[in-house]
Amino acid sequence: MSVRDDAFEEATIPRSNGALTFDAPWQSRAHALAVSTVDALGLSWDAFRVELMRAIAQDPGRGYWDSWVIALDSLLRGLGLNGLSEVG
């Protein structure tokens, strides 16, 4: 694996205590949706985390936040809340 991987490129950004974590508004929205849903339904965070691990393992090359959305969808479907069907 090359040292020029994006992951390590990004690590050269000057260190700051205010870290940029989202590349687009939909990502922070997806994050907040999962946090709010787990809270509103009284679930443990692990209920979501298990779905996230599964989504990442399913396709490690997929974007992290894409996997996050798939995990949320799958959590909702598992609860019988009629998650959305797979998109592309």
Residues engaged in binding other proteins (CB under 8 A): 1, 3, 5-8, 10-12, 15-26, 28-33, 35-41, 45-46, 49, 52-53, 56-57, 60-61, 63-66, 69, 72-73, 76, 81-84, 87-88
- The single-letter DSSP state of residue 23 is S
CB of 27 to other proteins, least distance (A): 8
Q: What angle do CA 25, 55, 33 make, to 5 degrees?
A: 35
Q: Of the two residues 78 and 84, which places its CB atom closer to other proteins in the complex?
A: 84
Angle at which helices 25-40 and 64-78 pack, to 10 degrees?
30
